[in-house]
Structure 1
Amino acid sequence: MSADDGQDVPRTSLVLRDRMGSGGQGDVYPVEGVGDLLFKEYKNPHTVDQAALSVLPAFRQSLAAADRARLDAVAAWPLCRVTDGGRAVGFLMRRAPDRLTWQAPSGRTKLLELQHALHPPKAGTRSVPQPSPEQRRALAAACADAVDWFHGAGMVIGDISHANILWSLSPEPSVHFLDCDGFRRVGGAAVQAQADTPDWGDPLTPPSQACVDSDAYKTALAVVRLLTQDPYVTPGATLRLVPGCLNDRQESAVRSLFQQATGPRGTRPKPAEWRNALSDRGTIQLRATTPRQRPAVDTSVLDGIRNRKPIPLRGR
């Protein structure tokens, strides 16, 4: 059983190993006998919007094969709901690949969160591979590109922060999103009430009203905090970029876009503008004349037209 078909799985069919993590909204358990699958179980499932949660695995099912592969590469996406007594109590997702982890001095394997690229290494994090200036630029571009892809697919991310983006330098600089049950369709409901990570909130948008514009603001924070190795810099502040990460053209564009991010809603730079500014092109096209091709989405699946007959895990 791979959960790849998106159908609901009964909670009673799961054989779980010891809890591996706990957050404000749920606990995460490895699933016995099914490879790299993890189960996130909500602490209070009665606060879960059942329909909103069903949208997420349906979104993945709606994608063409190439786009589905890209989604799996950039996100720990909900593969299917897990139900108990007819109510969703959590979901299955894949474990982050080993390239997105690091080994602490204690020998424990930990996730390589964005915060480890924003803070200078300390005694306990000296084994974290530090990106070169060029790799910082590539990571920032990868982050902007991923947000742009989700927006093109009609999704809002919501809580973009140092804690829910993983990164890797091998085989090339890349990012990977966590807590993907916080995503929602544009204009759609959230699975649960969403809170902003401290120091990452949009001053013009409350968490309950997360939208592509608040995503744009937080993308600006992620990009520039990577380029400055400053976890607290905000639009309007003086930028001290890591030496060597940008050429003159890129630096000029980044400074201009970050200043633009201080503006009112609707005027913040789009993620694609950050991607273009950080590219190796000789010129920057801030407003693309040819729209980027959007992921192919089967909207009938997104609207919930599907068979959700539970399927067992045991013996498969």
Structure 2
Amino acid sequence: MTGRRVLLDGRPVVLLEQALGSGLEAAVHPVEGTDDLVVKVYHQPDAAREHRLRRMLALNPLAGRPVDGGQPPELAWPVGLAYGTDGGFLGYGMGRFAGPEHVQLMALFNREQRLRRFPAEADWRFLLGICWNLAFMTARLHHEGLIIGDFSAKNVVVDQRGFATFLDCDSIGFAAPGTGETFPATLHTPDYAAPERLRGEPGSVPSDDFALAVLVYQLLTAGYHPFGGVPRDSEDDVQISDNITASRSFVVRPEAMIIPRGLVDPAVLPPAVLALARQAFGSGLLDTAQRPSSQQWLAALEESRAEGAITICPRRPRHAHGAHLARCPWCDRADETGHDAFNAPEQTPQPPPTGSPPVPEPLSPGPVIHGVTPPLPAHPPGQQAAPSDGNDPWSDWIKPLLIGAGVVLFFLLRFHWGV
């Protein structure tokens, strides 16, 4: 395979000709002889990009937080500048985060993709854990003075444990240490852009919070964009960005939108999360002071993962949902539309057992590992999860006590009555 020789951080490397991906601004090429490094080559490299990247290399964001040794970095941060053999600036090197170990977040919005890429984990608990990780990453970056800017489902990848990594770090907004020189976040993806960004304003903490709100809603409703759909008073093609600009969200104004059959009811979101969603897509849409922050999302998601906050459907074990719901929303939707969001078409539901229906057992969040809360533990299809902390009083001491008492009673009766 032919390649191109470049200097990366002063050392010669060969870029493979076949790009892993290409966009409007650059193409990403693998490096010969390594699986964990790529080089992003700009279509039109210039001095401004080079200067920005040099300032980025002086930063080391999120470095002070201890993490589990197996957790990937939350940022694909530049590791060195790339130059041609003629000395001309080309781009920069960064860690490689690609499949099958890492999957674009948007793949989780599609059932077939979820089942293929995450066969053992693709349930609602796993999606809730990813939401927590996204909120944590956003809050941490804001704490360190960084603006994500182009925050979208295309620019984030997740690994098999649900840990998130943001890819296009060269678009992040920041202030250079020491000099105070500012580098704004100017790029955005229209479907995740707050109204002020669609008007041309640079990225900000509130605009990141809006994109986070959209991503959380999409993940917890198995892919539905909160500003999707067609307004009732329009016959023209309408883009999602048009609905954002016009403050049209079926989450807040269902009467203004044509609701498609099978749309996941917003009530599938846990109450604290749904309240933030309605605030983000309602009063907080135009008034950034009322827009929920990443810290508020983190707190609401933490509450939604608390012990007893999630139940497993006894009919379809891959169906998990918030304990605030009396019925399984995924079963109701599957029965109504024939589309099961978490099971393949050939996977038929288990028939309800005779007698008293079983009580779904609650799940608790996974343990904190070195300051990082991983996504909720996944369980193999067809198995109902037991409490993750292993403290089941029935199996631990009540059941043995009753069995022991029965044995003692049997021998007493036999000795006294001769039975």
Match of residue 287 from structure 1: none
Given the superposition, is the C-alpha separation of residues 115 and 212 from structure 1 closer, same or farther in structure 2, using an over 3 Å criterion? same
Question: 1:180 Cα shift?
Answer: 1.3
* Partner Cα distance (2:206, 2:266) in 1: 30
Match of residue 211 from structure 2: 218
Find the partner of 1:136 among 127, 131, 134: 127
Unaligned residue ranges in structure 2 (runs of 5+):
1-6, 176-180, 228-246, 252-262, 307-419
Find the partner of 1:182 among 160, 163, 171: 171
**CA-to-partner distance for each residue in 1:259-311, whole Å, 9 max, x for gaps?**
343242333111111111111377xxxxxxxxxxxxxxxxxxxxxxxxxxxxx
Match of residue 153 from structure 1: 144
Question: 1:253 Cα shift?
Answer: 4.7
Alignment of 1:51-130 (within 5 A): 51-60=51-60, 63-64=63-64, 66=66, 73-84=73-84, 88-96=89-97, 100-101=101-102, 112-121=103-112, 127-129=116-118
Greater relative contact order (Cα < 8 A, sep 6+): 1
Counterpart code for 1:156: I
Match of residue 200 from structure 1: 192
* Partner Cα distance (1:196, 1:93) in 2: 21
* Partner Cα distance (1:229, 1:142) in 2: 17
Query: Which is higher, the Rg of structure 1 or of structure 2?
Result: 2
Alignment of 1:229-240 (within 5 A): 229-234=222-227, 237-239=249-251
SS in 2 for 1:41: strand
Given the superposition, is the C-alpha separation of residues 56 and 231 from structure 1 closer, same or farther in structure 2, using an over 3 Å criterion? farther
- 1:275 and 2:298 aligned: yes
Match of residue 31 from structure 1: 31
**CA-to-partner distance for each residue in 1:110-133, whole Å, 9 max, x for gaps?**
xx21211223437xx762327311
Match of residue 15 from structure 1: 14
Alignment root-mean-square deviation, CA? 3.5
* Partner Cα distance (2:196, 2:39) in 1: 35
Question: 1:190 Cα shift?
Answer: 4.7
SS in 2 for 1:279: helix
Please tell me whether the aligned partners of residues 164 and 177 of structure 1 are also in contact (alpha carbons under 8 angstroms): yes
Question: 1:58 Cα shift?
Answer: 1.6
* Partner Cα distance (1:62, 1:87) in 2: 31
* Partner Cα distance (1:146, 1:61) in 2: 11
* Partner Cα distance (1:136, 1:38) in 2: 28
Please tell me whether the aligned partners of residues 158 and 207 of structure 1 are also in contact (alpha carbons under 8 angstroms): no
Please tell me whether the aligned partners of residues 194 and 285 of structure 2 are also in contact (alpha carbons under 8 angstroms): no
- 1:167 and 2:158 aligned: yes
* Partner Cα distance (2:107, 2:143) in 1: 29
Please tell me whether the aligned partners of residues 229 and 242 of structure 1 are also in contact (alpha carbons under 8 angstroms): no
Please tell me whether the aligned partners of residues 196 and 207 of structure 1 are also in contact (alpha carbons under 8 angstroms): no
Please tell me whether the aligned partners of residues 164 and 179 of structure 1 are also in contact (alpha carbons under 8 angstroms): yes
Given the superposition, is the C-alpha separation of residues 226 and 21 from structure 1 closer, same or farther in structure 2, using an over 3 Å criterion? same
Question: 1:163 Cα shift?
Answer: 0.8
* Partner Cα distance (1:117, 1:202) in 2: 22
Please tell me whether the aligned partners of residues 60 and 79 of structure 1 are also in contact (alpha carbons under 8 angstroms): no
Question: 1:146 Cα shift?
Answer: 0.7
- 1:40 and 2:40 aligned: yes
Please tell me whether the aligned partners of residues 156 and 183 of structure 1 are also in contact (alpha carbons under 8 angstroms): yes
**CA-to-partner distance for each residue in 1:199-232, whole Å, 9 max, x for gaps?**
2222112456112121111111111121223443
Please tell me whether the aligned partners of residues 260 and 269 of structure 1 are also in contact (alpha carbons under 8 angstroms): no
* Partner Cα distance (1:44, 1:15) in 2: 20
* Partner Cα distance (1:207, 1:114) in 2: 26
**CA-to-partner distance for each residue in 1:28-75, whole Å, 9 max, x for gaps?**
1122234511111111012743322112222128944748x8996212
* Partner Cα distance (1:242, 1:100) in 2: 32
Please tell me whether the aligned partners of residues 83 and 91 of structure 2 are also in contact (alpha carbons under 8 angstroms): yes
